[in-house]
Structure 1
Amino acid sequence: MSGVVDLEIIRRRPFAEGHAFGEAGGETRTYECMDARAHVAIDPQNPAYAWMIDIGLAQRGDDGLVHASTDLWILKPVALERGNGAAMVEFVNRGNKRALQFYNDGPASNAPQSLADAGNGFLMRRGYTVISAAWQGDVLPGDGRLVARLPVARYPDGPVTGRVRAEFIVETRGVTSLPLSAKAGTRPLPAASLDTGEAVLQRRRYPWSEAEALPVDAWQFARVEGGGRGGQGDISGAEQGIVASDSHLYIPAGFEPGWIYELLYTARDPLVLDLGYAAMRDLVSFLKQTEGGANLLRADGAPPLRFYGWGRSQTGRGIRDFIHRGFNADAQGRKVFDGMLTHIAGGGRTTMNRFTNLVVAASRQYEDWLNPSDRFPFSYAVSTDHLTGAEDGILKRPETDPLVIHTQTASEYWYRRGSLVHTDTEGNDLPQPETVRIYFWASSQHWADPRATPPVQRGVCQNAQNIVATSAFFRATLEAMDAWVRDGQAPPPSAVPRRDDGTLVTMDAWRGQFPAIPGVALPARPNELPLVDYGPDFEAGAAIVEPPVVSTTQHYAVLVPAVDADGNDRAGLRAPMVAAPLGTYTGWNLRIPGHGAGALHDFSGSCIPLPETREEREVTGDPRPSILERYGTPAGYVAAIRAAAGALAERRFLLAEDVERAAEAARDWGRARHIVYLPAASDEA
């Protein structure tokens, strides 16, 4: 026996109180939502599973099978025949539901239920079924997260142990204790021993700086309890207890903000993380192939749905790994997902190795620099690694590989080695398979809140955060994927910066292009990628050797998009806000003094406002034309935004409804996102 053996419906109820999201066939379309759990039982000796990492060490039930389960949330038309025949499956990011937030411009919520949660209703108005499903085994329950319950790997005579590296960075003073996972919502890898003499805690100023070791008596494997403020004469509420813990790090003197702390220790009891992929594969195969019975998506002889996977950032990397490792073929060798939509994954994949902490974000220049998220192959096309001679590509199984639309922002080129998605390892343009489209969302940031409003906090960054609105691209991209799978209508050609037309450049060339804006410091370089040796058995799933060997002479080519005279990216899809700018919008931002000054910050981009008048430009010495010199009036700005949006719609990169949304958001100088001191439209003479 293997695969989904039971789909448990925990709760089923109307969505948005039965609101009608349009109609189909002359009947109104209403939606219902379900909280469910898929229970999976597999034979670890079945060839469809036997190749997975540590599957032979997975704890088994009394039936001799390995059991796992995954939470899911289903949003579907009450009458399936009134849907559009397509289901979007969200690989949830760290357990959080985000499909309605990014596709419908809805609020962030792990319990969407109301009409307000539906946002603009796009997914429902178009008739999509939405499935949010857990796959990440180390997410802990809480805050409404979806969780995958996976078994521990264990030897017959005792626990599995191995050396691991954990990293911690805090931005405020007063933090003394953190989970070994660095996140409260993530299962830590427990320490095999509480003896600090068997571990090493050290810190660095920058990832490449010499490490400073902390004395063994300066920290503990422990957690802090209590410490609240007492009241009503009860002083016990202010007490603090220090409790030994194999899952926490405690520094009595506190973490110094901005420093990179590294803990090297022996961990035990890793999860069999590959079962998260297997559960996702088997769940979708069940929903696609099984007629009637427990499969509510094929009741009464309904035809199979078209299935599209969607993931962003961490889960975008997960999808790329899912495809590369062959999970898009089910246990019977059938194609699982028809299409995959990967967003802001950069050149990375997920690492499912023993003792992997999946919640850790991908390698950035300052944070988690040694995370093995970026390893050859980087591109969907098969190519040769010029440093190792290896030949590989993410797509290499034509019978079961899905159609792919890969989207990425400017931040991925600076932090996530995004150029390697469409170049070879030496930086030459690399043609992609006909089954792939890659779209660069120019001058936008890794994280773009569809509902952002100013003022945007700078935190430990030198510049304000990038506020370019890009959610309309999600909607057009999904519709393009559906037309591709349903009708064979190919999407528009890929739109990326290229070497052959000068829009993908080296750092030296970029520095010569970027305008000399007063008071703005520039990055020294993007997040470069040296060749890293993680150990001879790493690719087979072993834990990382300590420490990995980082080459000082061998590097992969990491290039960045060329910019125009304003400092905005020239190539790719320029959102209306970029084509008609009120500022310079970059994919990078720099850390302030005391917090790794000058290094790139996390995944942050920048918004550097334009001068508002000619006089301001002349006084400050800003080389960029002012807002009034460009547009004259608020109406002039709206007209420019409308024209830019219309041009994107003509190329199928925006829907018609989003042209009007862009124009409406631009009224009164786009104040929904920008802080502008010029007169509003109502104040014009």
Structure 2
Amino acid sequence: MKRKLTMLAMALVLTTAQAAVERIQVVERAPFAPGVTFGEYGAYEKIRGIAYYALDPKAAANASIIDLKHAPRDNKGRVLFSSEFVLLRPVGGKPATLLYDVNNRGNIAILGQVNGRSPANNDPSTTADAGDGFLMRHGFSLLFSAWTWDVAPGAAAGARPLVFAPPVAKGVKGKVQNEFTVNAPTDVVTYAGMRGLTYEPATPNDPHAQLTARSRPDDKRRPIARSAWRFVEPELKGGPGRIQLEGGFQPGTIYEVTYAAKDPYVTGAGLAGIRDLLSYFRDNPFEGAPVPRNVLMFGISQSGRVIGRMMHDGLNVDESGKLVFNGAYLQVPGAGGSAGFNSRFAQPTRHPSMLEEHDYPADAFPFTSAPTRDPATGKTASTLDKARDKQGNLPKLFYANTSTEFWNRGASLIATTPDGVSDVTPAPNVRIYGFMGAQHYVGRSSKRAPFTACVSTTDHYLPMRALIVALDDWTTQGTQPPASAYPALADGTLTTVADYRAIFPKGVGLTPPEQNLREPRLNFGLRFNMYGIADTTPPKHGDDYETRVPTPDADGNDRGGVRLVELQAPLGTHTGWNLRAPDTGFAWATSRFDGSFVPFARTEAERLAAGDPRPSLEGRYANRDAYIAAVRLAAEQQVAAGLLLPEDVERATKQNVGLYDRILARDPADQGCTYLFAQ
């Protein structure tokens, strides 16, 4: 049923002087997963609408929003903007926890990862979209909204992404820089990072724009003659800009284009919009429904870093001085995200990797939840310095990274000093988890290209389910969550890349990378840290922040942290890295997101013939029943630790036993990866 209506709480909005949500317009209201009831919470409905915001640039709560003062204002001196939202909530009277999922590059993420592999869809409506109904059965109302401007047409899965109409800093100009690479020769390429949108040149086909090339990040840039290249129209209307080069772009080269742009979006307004929408729904339920029993945030990767930046800037506290969420789960945020998302000409889709975006400011000191001193600057700070409400309260926080983030996203920095010399104990309101042997997302690729190894098969989505429930219990009942579990320097489970390479077993069929991502220390000029304005583009580089990686055991599996079922009852070696194939031109670099998996030999005879130092499956498990027993024991230990729910023991067992069977049925000479996953 489609209709437009105003929420019953509109009177509150109109009479509250500091209210930042002006009004809510509902454009669709319909049953979610029609005919399905989710345990004691019953049936759910979907409400789709538009939130209209009004921000006062003079309000203290908005002081951290870069360029808000340059955006057009209404006759009351306020900056107006809007975002679409979707709310999935139980229709009965039982209070639920409001869980806000920060969408990732236009995509709703939590359903696909947490709700039993439901399909990716930005307009969740059907029984299939509900997956196994996990979040609904556990009493969560789910709220999604648009917050960023740089989602390219066609980049989001399922229905179109939710639309964000941000304010614009009219008349403001500045330099924009983008880095890009290609995997194969091509004449025309998109120059926006991570397939997102970027700013177009202020002058069409800007004659003063510069294009450079280099082979390695630290190499000197080689200018390409301006007459040899030009800007061309996007492939799709409204899509990312492209460049055409005479002779074409080649693999093995890092390209960088720099030009003047104008009218930057006020990206920090998107974070304020999240803040204000949460504040609104916390206090104003739909049509007499009970107020939420709790409010939580959840974010995966980019989305987790959004939460980090909100707290860094105090945007987790609303205009009345209240926390807008009681707890947050930052999944695979890498170094945490205390930079990015709120600066002039920010492009939220971008982040640095070993290969690209070396000059994009996604991460910077401070990284830790407890105060730490940066030896390079002498400054002492934490990520939570501005995150307290007017009563001095902080939200309770989970940070969870996989092994891949230690290699590719600086994850060690959230629990060490910036020089990588000492551990830093998390603040009392924080827990940190490291999912060892896992990659950025649960692998599903059945081919190696463009990398050298098959992807890791670990499933960290199962402990994510347990941790979401634990966070809800911690923030509502005071129930202590699982203790932090992550690699540390003190116990030797966190080490240098050089030590990792020396320890990693030889003869496995994997050669460890020569380096991991060392988070760059970027200097954009004196105004950047305080005002978000870059005066030096590209930036100058200081000494990198020192990052560390998990220490491997004799099998090549990472020690410390949360040792998933796959590592407690192993079938092979799982790493957080996967080297790029030589034909991509960057054999020294790793995938941004993928790990590796190499199974153990099936028998001792095969192991000896291959020169594999790792005990075979035959040497580890007497038979299939013995392996099943080992998996069940590992799963029960995870349940006891609070890192696996009893309802997920069978799923964990089935997945791992299925892989065991496929490894035994596979010809070891077959170098394909299709055996990894049930067809």
Could you tell me the TM-score, scaled by structure 1's length?
A: 0.89
In 1, Cα distance between equivalents of 2:602 and 2:187:
42
Alignment partner of 1:137 out of 143, 149, 153: 149
Shift of 1:557: 2.5
| 8 Å contact from structure 2 (residues 98, 292) kept in 1 | no
Could you say if the C-alpha distance between residues 410 and 668 of structure 1 is closer, same or farther in structure 2, counting changes exceeding 3 Å? closer
Alignment partner of 2:32 out of 5, 11, 15: 15
Alignment partner of 1:169 out of 181, 184, 187: 181
* Aligned: 1:410 with 2:403: yes
* Aligned: 1:644 with 2:634: yes
Shift of 1:167: 1.4
Q: 1:581 corresponds to which residue?
A: 570
Shift of 1:448: 1.5
Q: 2:253 corresponds to which residue?
A: 259
Give the stretch that moved more between structures: 560-569 or 249-258. 249-258
Q: How do residues 196-211 of structure 1 correspond to structure 2 at under 5 angstroms?
A: 196-211=206-221
| 8 Å contact from structure 1 (residues 199, 263) kept in 2 | yes
Alignment partner of 1:597 out of 572, 584, 587: 587
Q: Secondary structure at the match of 2:359?
A: coil
* Aligned: 1:95 with 2:84: no
Shift of 1:305: 3.4
Could you say if the C-alpha distance between residues 444 and 98 of structure 1 is closer, same or farther in structure 2, counting changes exceeding 3 Å? same
Q: 2:353 corresponds to which residue?
A: 364
Could you say if the C-alpha distance between residues 561 and 51 of structure 1 is closer, same or farther in structure 2, counting changes exceeding 3 Å? closer
| 8 Å contact from structure 1 (residues 151, 271) kept in 2 | yes
* Aligned: 1:323 with 2:311: yes
Could you say if the C-alpha distance between residues 666 and 547 of structure 1 is closer, same or farther in structure 2, counting changes exceeding 3 Å? closer
Q: How do residues 553-564 of structure 1 correspond to structure 2 at under 5 angstroms?
A: 554-564=543-553
Q: 2:7 corresponds to which residue?
A: none
Could you say if the C-alpha distance between residues 529 and 64 of structure 1 is closer, same or farther in structure 2, counting changes exceeding 3 Å? closer
Q: How do residues 74-473 of structure 1 correspond to structure 2 at under 5 angstroms?
A: 74-79=87-92, 81-83=93-95, 85-105=96-116, 106-140=118-152, 143-154=159-170, 159-174=171-186, 176-178=188-190, 180-182=191-193, 186-223=196-233, 247-290=241-284, 295-296=285-286, 299-300=287-288, 302-349=290-337, 350-351=339-340, 352-360=342-350, 362-396=351-385, 397-398=387-388, 399-427=392-420, 428-449=422-443, 452=444, 456-473=446-463
**Residue type of the alignment partner of 1:401:** L
| 8 Å contact from structure 1 (residues 204, 260) kept in 2 | yes
Q: 2:496 corresponds to which residue?
A: 506
**Residue type of the alignment partner of 1:19:** V
**Residue type of the alignment partner of 2:517:** N
Could you say if the C-alpha distance between residues 600 and 187 of structure 1 is closer, same or farther in structure 2, counting changes exceeding 3 Å? closer
Shift of 1:567: 0.4
**Residue type of the alignment partner of 1:172:** A
Q: Secondary structure at the match of 2:582?
A: coil
Q: 1:232 corresponds to which residue?
A: none
**Residue type of the alignment partner of 1:430:** V
**Which consecutive residues of structure 2, in runs of 5 or more, have no partner in the other structure?**
1-16, 669-679
Shift of 1:512: 2.2
**Residue type of the alignment partner of 1:216:** R
| 8 Å contact from structure 2 (residues 178, 357) kept in 1 | no
Give the stretch that moved more between structures: 169-178 or 371-380. 169-178
| 8 Å contact from structure 1 (residues 174, 254) kept in 2 | yes
| 8 Å contact from structure 1 (residues 288, 305) kept in 2 | no
Shift of 1:255: 2.4
| 8 Å contact from structure 1 (residues 576, 644) kept in 2 | yes
Q: 1:233 corresponds to which residue?
A: none
Q: Secondary structure at the match of 1:220?
A: strand
Could you say if the C-alpha distance between residues 499 and 187 of structure 1 is closer, same or farther in structure 2, counting changes exceeding 3 Å? closer
Shift of 1:170: 2.2
**What is the percentage of aligned positions where both structures have the same residue?**
35
Count of equivalent residues: 637
**Which consecutive residues of structure 1, in runs of 5 or more, have no partner in the other structure?**
227-242, 679-685
In 2, Cα distance between equivalents of 1:115 and 1:319:
30
Could you say if the C-alpha distance between residues 586 and 194 of structure 1 is closer, same or farther in structure 2, counting changes exceeding 3 Å? same
> 1:198-232 CA distances to partner (integer Å, 9 max, x unpaired)?
01111222212232222212111222669xxxxxx
| 8 Å contact from structure 2 (residues 471, 481) kept in 1 | yes
Could you say if the C-alpha distance between residues 627 and 301 of structure 1 is closer, same or farther in structure 2, counting changes exceeding 3 Å? closer
**Residue type of the alignment partner of 1:579:** Q
| 8 Å contact from structure 1 (residues 483, 489) kept in 2 | yes
Shift of 1:601: 2.2
* Aligned: 1:479 with 2:495: no
| 8 Å contact from structure 2 (residues 456, 574) kept in 1 | yes
Shift of 1:183: 5.8
> 1:527-568 CA distances to partner (integer Å, 9 max, x unpaired)?
1235332211111210351231113xx343311111111100
Q: 1:36 corresponds to which residue?
A: 49
